[in-house]
Amino acid sequence: MSVANVICIKWGTLFGPEYVNRLYSGARRNISRPVRFLCMTEHAEGIHPDVEILPLPVEPFHEEMNAALAVANRQGAMRKISLFKPDLIPDLDGPILGFDLDVVITGDLDPLYDLAPGKVAMRHDWVEKRRGRPTGHGSVFRYDPALHGYLYDTLAANPGAEVAKARGSEQRYTSSRAKERGDFAYIPEDWVVSYKHDCMDLPPLNYFRTPRLPEGARVVCFHGRPKMPEAVEGYHGSWLRWSRPCPWLKDYWIDRAAADLGPDWA
């Protein structure tokens, strides 16, 4: 049976190791074939031993890229570009399904992993779509380094110009470059949903209704507020995003991972 390759990147200490472990558990519980799970990080402490660690590199173009990002007021962004480097992963066979750490897996990932072979696959970004822009959202992405290494090489060759063209947005860079090559496909929008846009009601209903999990959702993304721990407990930091506690999020993100890996890892 073929192996499904899944990857995430964790830099700095904003997210603890439990985010990696819960993501690993969610992936292996929702993919029918064996999972090879990798994490690129400089802080591997507390990450489950079955997760394969890739050292977080300092790219030769790091300083030039960061200088351009500072102009775009996006310091620290675009670190995921290292994931596209050709020959990054030893003995890699097939595509890779990538996730940000602030997502929860809630459904079958097989169709997502197998979607549009040979293409870079991303969901249409919620805000960019409303503005009439084609930008993909970077929380969930499927790609193949053997086919899409140009995403690394192009930025490495001219980081200042590429960062400026993308206005400091890694997801804009990735999706636009892949589109230019005819290498891009959108993930169906009901497969990857936004907690704040698709699960929460607007005022005043958000004060009375528990956030819902849309039918068919396979991944829920937490961009902006509330953050995942805030959503579990209930978020009261904004009248617009005020939310009641979310039991299904605790179930999918924490409880199922603890039952799968043991409470020490989740």
pLDDT at 171: 94
Assign residue 149 the CATH number of its domain. Answer: 3.90.550.10
**Residue 1 banded pLDDT, cuts 50, 70, 90:** low
Residue 187's Cβ-count burial label (10 Å; 0-12, 13-18, 19+) is buried
Whether 226 is covered by a domain: the verdict is yes
179 and 71 share one domain: yes
Q: Is residue 210 part of a domain?
A: yes
Both tokens of residue 190?
């009901």
Q: Is the pLDDT of residue 77 over 90?
A: no
Q: What is the pLDDT of residue 73?
A: 74
Please check whether residue 127 lies inside any domain of the structure.
yes
H-assigned helices in the chain: 17-29, 62-71, 110-113, 126-130, 145-148, 150-157, 159-165, 170-180, 228-233, 247-250, 256-261
For residues 113 and 221, membership in a common domain is answered with no
pTM score: 0.96
Whether residues 243 and 158 share a domain: the answer is no
- Do 18 and 111 share a domain, yes or no? yes
pLDDT value, residue 58: 87
pLDDT score for 97: 98
Specify whether 42 is located in the same domain as 120.
yes
Confidence band of 151 (pLDDT split at 50, 70, 90): very high
The last residue of a domain, from among 187, 202, 232 = 187
pLDDT at 168: 86
Q: Which residue has the higher pLDDT, 195 or 77?
A: 195
Q: Check residue 150 and give its pLDDT.
A: 96
Please check whether residues 112 and 209 belong to one and the same domain: no
Domain termination site, one of 142, 158, 187:
187
What's residue 22's pLDDT? 98
For residue range 129-142, list pLDDT tens digits in order: 999 999 999 999 99
Which domain covers residue 212, as residue numbers? Answer: 193-261
pLDDT at 89: 92
In this structure, the answer to whether residues 110 and 234 fall within a common structural domain is no
Residue 61 lies in a domain: yes
Strand 219-221: give its sheet, edge to edge.
103-105, 219-221, 192-194
For residue 266, tell me if it sits in a domain.
no
Regarding whether 72 and 168 lie in a shared domain, the answer is: yes
Looking at the structure, tell me whether residues 130 and 102 fall in a common domain. yes
Do 89 and 56 fall within a single domain? Answer: yes
Residue 123 inside a domain? The answer is: yes
- 171 and 216 assigned to the same domain: no
Residues 34-61, mean pLDDT to the nearest whole number = 95
Domain limit, last residue, from 165, 187, 209: 187
Q: To which residue do tokens 């293409």 refer?
A: 119
Number of domains in the chain: 2
> Which tops the pLDDT comparison, 49 or 159?
49
Same domain, 132 and 225: no
At residue 220 the predicted structure's pLDDT band, cuts being 50, 70 and 90, is very high
pLDDT band at residue 83 under the 50/70/90 scheme: very high
What is the distance between the alpha carbons of residues 68 and 101, in angstroms, rounded to a whole number? 25
- The alpha-helical segments, DSSP class H, found in 181-246 are 228-233
Q: pLDDT band at 44, cuts 50/70/90?
A: very high
